[in-house]
Amino acid sequence: MLKFIDFRKWSPPRILVSGFAAIILIGAILLSMPFASADGTRLRFLDALFTATSATCVTGLAVVDTGTYFSTAGQLIILLLIQVGGLGFMTMGTLFALVLRKRISLKERLVLQEAMNQSSMEGIVRLIRKVFIYSLSIEVVGALLFTIRFSFDMPLGKAAYFGLFHAVSFFNNAGFDIFGHFRGLTAYVGDPLVNITSMLLIVLGGLGFIVISDLLEIKKNKRLSLQSKVVLSMTGTLIVVGAIVIFIFEFSNAKTLGSLNWGEKILAAFFQSITPRTAGTNTLDYTSLHQATLFFTVILMFIGASPGSTGGGIKTTTFATLIGAVVAMGRGREDIVMFRYRLGKDRIFKALTITMLSLALVIGVTMLLTTTEDQQFVKILFETTSAFGTVGLTAGLTPELSDFGRIVIALTMFAGRLGPLTLAYALGPKTEKELYRYPEGKITIG
């Protein structure tokens, strides 16, 4: 006798994983239809599945050129997947429920808590309202600024469409562009308005909605939370350090920064420092970067954005916790202290777990692809980390991947968007409370 699946008994992580998988499947079916392509032909289902995964997981890696291959309908489907994937399908569902004045159940609040990476359910529905308002406001302003600039290069209607698409894509840290021929923003490498608008959209999308809310309400609260202080300080540090390193490495490279004037060099260095924070768009040709720059970009992509944002990676707070642990151990202290607050042991264990699982995933996928793809190791590592961090930057490898490689990278994007820990909770057996503890033992470390 057939047994129906009781979704009410599913854990929040399992609901999240299943929900994202369902959205990707629906998106893949739509993108494989003839109306989604510019010439009316069907896109291979594997390539449609890859594109839908990349859009829903707000990555930006593409096996076909978004600007030339897809029709307007196909591009709008990708845009919708980006918006749903960036904000989260539970967030979108909650917004519809609020509009219809439907009560949000305890189970739904638990799933929202997991989706927004929050430690408690308190104020979770209020946060969802803020997420929608902040996202819509930022995307509208970004779209208007882009439209003004693009209107000098194309008809106003087309400029408005391009402005909307790229504002949504960049704020959600997706990295998709429709300029055609995988060019990204290379034609605007020295344009201050396009660069600054893009960078602001990327940074705001990557800070996390809690931090944005905290900044907007600073007059009311009189201070920033520890989360906001850590995120802002770490984000600022990574951007500045990244820009300096990229500027030094690429200063004399005639194919990247070498041919630009000083102002354009600085602008491009900052853009290339910000975009690995899971944005995926570019103003320089990444196939022409030095290997040292590519490897440094891998590190930035692995760290990624901040919790509760549209970005991926292990997150800035995780990286800050690891640095704090190293500093505390180096000074012979037991506690990690940040801004006069002590971090609990559970935060440290979680940071270590996330980092080790993420490293294992990146290393495992890279080793696997080196056996199936005839490409340089650095390029494979770059592409793998870009997929895990849901970045979307490419060293030119993605369109050349074998079918097996495309499946592996698609799964990596999926794991990177949801997080290895969430996947482990969703796919693993239900944990039970331990009834006893083992005696403490000691081993030599280091």
DSSP state string for 359-428:
HHHHHHHHHHHHHH--S-HHHHHHHHHHHHTT----SS-GGG--HHHHHHHHHHHHHHHH-HHHHHHHHS
Read off the amino acid at residue 125.
V
Six-digit token pair at 46? Answer: 């594997």
CA dist., res. 385 & res. 59, Å (int): 11
Q: What is the rounded average pLDDT for all residues in the chain?
A: 84
Comparing 181 with 385, which gets the higher pLDDT? 385
**pLDDT for 296 beyond 70:** yes
Which band of pLDDT confidence, cut at 50, 70 and 90, is reported for residue 410? very high
Which run of H or of E encompasses 127?
helix 124-150
**pLDDT for 103 beyond 90:** no
Q: How many residues does the chain have?
A: 446
CB 290 within 8 A of CB 195: no
Paired strand residues for 338: 341
The DSSP output letter for 23 is H
Six-digit token pair at 314? Answer: 């292990």
What would the mean pLDDT of 287-310 be, rounded to a whole number?
90
CA dist., res. 128 & res. 87, Å (int): 9
CA dist., res. 390 & res. 419, Å (int): 10
Cα diameter, the chain: 73
pLDDT, position 72: 94
Six-digit token pair at 110? Answer: 């638990």
CA dist., res. 251 & res. 208, Å (int): 32
Could you give the residue ranges of the DSSP H alpha helices within 153-207? Answer: 156-171, 192-207
CA dist., res. 161 & res. 148, Å (int): 11
**pLDDT for 248 beyond 90:** yes
What 3-state class would DSSP assign to 296?
helix
**pLDDT for 98 beyond 70:** no
Q: Please state, for a pLDDT cut of 70, what percent of the chain lies above it.
A: 83
Comparing 128 with 409, which gets the higher pLDDT? 409
pLDDT, position 2: 39
Lowest mean pLDDT among 108-117, 178-187, 331-340, 365-374: 108-117
Which band of pLDDT confidence, cut at 50, 70 and 90, is reported for residue 199? very high
Give one DSSP letter per residue of 66-81, joined into a string. Answer: HHHHB-HHHHHHHHHH
pLDDT, position 310: 75
CA dist., res. 168 & res. 77, Å (int): 13
Q: What is the pLDDT of residues 8-35, one digit of tens each?
A: 566 666 777 777 888 899 999 999 999 9
Which band of pLDDT confidence, cut at 50, 70 and 90, is reported for residue 162? very high
Six-digit token pair at 340? Answer: 């006069």
For Cα atoms 62, 133, 53, give the angle at the middle one, nearest 5 degrees.
Answer: 20
The DSSP output letter for 337 is E
CB 388 within 8 A of CB 415: yes
